[in-house]
């Protein structure tokens, strides 16, 4: 057997492994224990992405493409996996993939190779220098390890001429940067990598990736301390939102949370933590009291240092765009917030966006709700459904029979709940949501049922189902139970998923909102791109026209699309909106169309005015929101539009 041929041709199991790996989207959910079922022991021990399930999947793809050849280190990577199956449980919950099959196929492939097939990679002066800083184990130039970073910081077509280094504290980060500068080598920090993976198949990759040099993987900065007395937490750059939230919850506190797998520090520095809890808990620099940063010269600074220039201020506008962080945030002291005993979820269903938006902004301006957002039908379907097919059917039923297209989702205490209930005709509460989660498979089978046909003939199906007698019929028809959800998973995992869905938190909408493990389901076996931004809410028509522009673009370019969410900021004066496009990241044609949408929607947003696109706030998360959001941008002039095109040409090259 030789490694000269593409590996997929060698064994059927490898063909299957490559197919599984291609469907992976680097959500990173295999790197922390969100189901209480354990986390990959090899990844935890060795740190480098190659030792984690997502890294092994990327290696299989890279070996198959011929971009990388087996090295001595590859033996170590496969030996470190004991096929414990933790990854299958985690990944299957989110994506229905089986990464253990990939790990097994990779193991078999490596074991079948002749000793002479493994390349020995030599240490060079740069690697020696990096190892002097972090220790021999934590710096590498091994192509297999490097290849595992493709898609999450390295472009898909790179030559793999990189080093990966894993510092364990700010001092080591500082030394690495000074060393890199002295040797004229570019570098880029890596947190969770998921944000980059969404950009990787598009034109954005050129601007955001590292073209060569040193990847500084921040996973080893694992400090996590909760300070209940001050309602704060000290968080190292390797800590995920889920881990922070779990630590906070043990003290009956809550952090402003992005999606579960996002690294807290990276998220702060990249866009600020954008969350449905932002209207109450704040945005941008509201969320931390101190940061430890390492700048481009390797200087370590704290925001709390006396005698330093204002670290909270930034120049507004799209031309102040930065494609890399000005600083690496190695540690943050973040604010935590009290959890109330009487918190509940209230969802208000709508058939049209205008009414949902009006309620959202009204509540936002009145400061009602801890978490507050308009969620689209598609979002609900993706989050609540255990499989992709069920989510499609769920979406179909909501759209065609219930006319349930949007919900305003409010997490609030009892007093606020009463205010909301007085404002609307009917609501959905925790009990029905729990039944929808446990009854999602059955709900999706109601497609084309007599029950739904009768319901759809009602004048107001939403009223009939949520406020009328048909609600009981629906709840009975759902037949909700952990057993019934578990049945849709692979047979060997059904007992496990029955246990998972029996846990109270898995159907607790407040918990799910805070821990945000379900949004990753948007990445199951497909990619999504979520452009949008924040817009001034003073002009309702302007806001809704902005959303319509994204919808029209999706129709025009024939890409599956849907509003994601809208959530107010700064007491409802602004609202952040994400519009999602779903696509197959292995299809170059649709990737081109997504690229066009990204570019065109940004331009149109800037022309419309009152919008802060990603160009306005990328890598500005550490600044005061007042400096990022204000002054409210006017629509750009013709001259600025030309400059915008030149800027894009600079970033993206001729592709634009």
Question: Which residues would be at the binding site for other proteins (CB under 8 A)?
Answer: 181-186, 206-207, 211, 296, 315, 317, 319-324, 326, 643, 646-647, 650-651
For 557-637, where are the alpha helices, taking DSSP H only? 588-608, 614-617, 625-629
Query: Which CB, 160 or 356, lies closer to other proteins?
Result: 160
Query: Are 197 and 250 a contacting pair, CB within 8 Å?
Result: no
Query: Which CB, 165 or 283, lies closer to other proteins?
Result: 165
Residue 179: CB minimum distance to other proteins, A = 11
Structure tokens at 462: 């939403």
Residue 15: CB minimum distance to other proteins, A = 37
Distance CA 382, CA 389 (A): 10
Give the list of residues 6+ apart from residue 429 with CB closer than 8 angstroms, or none. Answer: 344, 345, 346, 347
- Residues in the chain, overall count: 656
How many CA atoms are closer than 13 Å to the CA of 593, on its beta-carbon side? 19
Distance CA 147, CA 157 (A): 10
Residue 653: CB minimum distance to other proteins, A = 8
**Token pair 């931390």 is at which residue?**
288
- Residue 226: helix, strand or coil by DSSP? strand
Query: Are 418 and 350 a contacting pair, CB within 8 Å?
Result: no
Query: Which CB, 155 or 207, lies closer to other proteins?
Result: 207
Residue 329: CB minimum distance to other proteins, A = 15
Distance CA 491, CA 512 (A): 26
- For 28-49, letters b (16+ CB in 10 Å) and e give bbbbbbbbebebbebbbebbbb
Residue 353: CB minimum distance to other proteins, A = 35
Distance CA 161, CA 413 (A): 54
Strands (E), 267-312: 288-295, 300-302
Query: Which CB, 299 or 431, lies closer to other proteins?
Result: 299
Residue 122: CB minimum distance to other proteins, A = 19
Query: Which CB, 136 or 159, lies closer to other proteins?
Result: 159
- Residue 566: helix, strand or coil by DSSP? strand
Query: Are 86 and 100 a contacting pair, CB within 8 Å?
Result: no
Structure tokens at 487: 């049945």
Query: Which CB, 132 or 649, lies closer to other proteins?
Result: 649
Query: Are 409 and 456 a contacting pair, CB within 8 Å?
Result: no
Angle at CA of residue 233, ends 231 and 238, nearest 5°: 160
Distance CA 505, CA 242 (A): 13
Measure the CA dihedral 390/376/27/296, to 10°: 170
631: cis peptide before it, omega within 30°? yes
Residue 528: CB minimum distance to other proteins, A = 25
Give the list of residues 6+ apart from residue 232 with CB closer than 8 angstroms, or none. Answer: 289, 333, 334, 335, 336
Query: Which CB, 454 or 643, lies closer to other proteins?
Result: 643
Residue 352: CB minimum distance to other proteins, A = 40
Query: Which CB, 70 or 191, lies closer to other proteins?
Result: 191
For β-strands 327-338 and 232-236, DSSP reports them as antiparallel
- List the one residue out of 170, 161, 106 whose CA is nearest residue 133: 170
Residue 173: CB minimum distance to other proteins, A = 16
Residue 68: CB minimum distance to other proteins, A = 22
Residue 619: CB minimum distance to other proteins, A = 9
Residue 123: CB minimum distance to other proteins, A = 19
Residue 646: CB minimum distance to other proteins, A = 6
Query: Are 175 and 130 a contacting pair, CB within 8 Å?
Result: no
- Residue 187: helix, strand or coil by DSSP? strand
Measure the CA dihedral 441/442/444/450, to 10°: 170
Residue 650: CB minimum distance to other proteins, A = 3
Helix 99-112 to helix 86-94 angle (10° resolution) is 140
CA-derived radius of gyration, the chain: 24
Residue 270: CB minimum distance to other proteins, A = 14
For β-strands 213-217 and 187-190, DSSP reports them as parallel
Please give the distance of CA 253 from its chain centroid, rounded to a whole number. 23
Residue 565: CB minimum distance to other proteins, A = 29
For 536, the enclosing helix (H) or strand (E) is: strand 532-536
Query: Which CB, 296 or 429, lies closer to other proteins?
Result: 296
């Amino acid at each position: 057997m030789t490694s000269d041929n593409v590996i997929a041709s060698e064994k059927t199991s490898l063909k299957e492994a490559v197919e599984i790996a291609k469907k992976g989207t680097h959500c990173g959910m295999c790197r922390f224990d969100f189901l209480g079922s354990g986390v990959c022991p090899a990844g935890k021990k060795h740190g480098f992405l190659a030792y984690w399930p997502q890294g092994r999947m990327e290696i299989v793809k890279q070996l198959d493409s011929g971009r990388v050849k087996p090295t001595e280190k590859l033996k170590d990577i496969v030996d470190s996996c004991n096929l414990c199956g933790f990854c299958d449980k985690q990944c299957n919950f989110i994506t229905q993939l089986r990464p253990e099959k990939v790990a097994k196929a990779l193991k078999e492939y490596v074991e079948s190779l002749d000793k002479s097939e493994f390349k020995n990679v030599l240490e060079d002066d740069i690697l020696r220098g990096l190892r002097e800083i972090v220790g021999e184990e934590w710096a590498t130039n091994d192509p297999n390890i490097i290849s595992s970073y493709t898609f999450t910081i390295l472009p898909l077509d790179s030559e793999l001429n990189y080093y990966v280094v894993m510092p364990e504290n700010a001092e080591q980060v500082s030394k690495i940067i000074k060393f890199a500068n002295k040797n004229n080598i570019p570098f880029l920090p890596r947190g969770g990598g998921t944000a980059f993976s969404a950009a990787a198949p598009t034109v954005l990759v050129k601007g955001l990736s590292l073209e060569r040099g040193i990847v500084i993987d921040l996973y080893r900065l694992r400090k996590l301390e909760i300070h209940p007395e001050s309602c704060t937490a000290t968080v190292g750059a390797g800590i995920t939102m889920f881990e922070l939230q779990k630590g906070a919850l043990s003290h009956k506190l809550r952090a402003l949370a992005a999606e579960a797998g996002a690294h807290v520090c990276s998220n702060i520095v990249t866009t600020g933590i954008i969350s449905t809890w932002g209207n109450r808990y704040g945005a941008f620099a509201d969320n931390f009291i101190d940061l430890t940063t390492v700048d481009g010269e390797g200087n370590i600074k704290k925001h709390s240092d006396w005698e330093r220039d204002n670290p909270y201020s930034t120049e507004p506008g799209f031309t102040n765009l930065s494609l890399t962080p000005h600083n690496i945030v190695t540690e943050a002291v973040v604010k935590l917030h009290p959890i109330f005993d009487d918190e509940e979820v209230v969802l208000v269903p709508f058939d049209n966006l205008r009414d949902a938006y009006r309620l959202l902004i009204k509540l936002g301006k009145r400061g009602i709700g801890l978490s507050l957002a308009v969620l689209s039908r598609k979002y609900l379907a993706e989050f609540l459904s255990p499989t992709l097919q069920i989510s499609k059917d769920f979406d179909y039923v909501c759209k065609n029979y219930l006319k349930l297209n949007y919900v305003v989702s409010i997490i609030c205490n009892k007093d606020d709940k009463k205010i909301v209930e007085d404002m609307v005709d009917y609501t959905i509460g925790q009990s029905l949501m729990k039944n929808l989660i446990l009854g999602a498979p059955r709900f999706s089978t109601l497609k084309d049922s007599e029950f739904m046909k009768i319901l759809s003939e009602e004048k107001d199906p939403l009223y009939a189902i949520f406020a009328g007698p048909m609600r009981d019929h629906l709840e009975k028809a759902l037949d909700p139970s952990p057993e019934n959800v578990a049945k849709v998973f692979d047979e060997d995992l059904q007992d496990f998923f029955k246990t998972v869905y029996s846990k109270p938190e898995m159907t607790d909408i407040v918990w799910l909102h805070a821990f945000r493990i379900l949004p990753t389901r948007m990445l199951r076996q497909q990619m999504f791109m979520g452009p949008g931004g924040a817009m001034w809410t003073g002009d309702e028509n302007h806001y809704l026209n902005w959303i319509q522009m994204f919808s029209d673009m999706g129709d025009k370019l024939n890409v599956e699309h849907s509003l994601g969410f809208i959530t107010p900021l700064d007491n409802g004066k602004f609202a952040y909106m994400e519009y999602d496009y779903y696509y197959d990241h292995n299809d170059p044609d649709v990737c081109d169309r997504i690229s066009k949408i990204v570019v065109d929607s940004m331009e149109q947003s800037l022309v419309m005015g009152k919008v802060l696109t990603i160009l306005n706030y990328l890598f500005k998360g550490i600044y005061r929101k007042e400096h990022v959001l204000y002054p409210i941008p006017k629509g750009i002039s013709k001259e600025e539009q030309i400059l915008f095109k030149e800027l894009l040409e600079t970033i993206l090259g001729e592709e634009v």
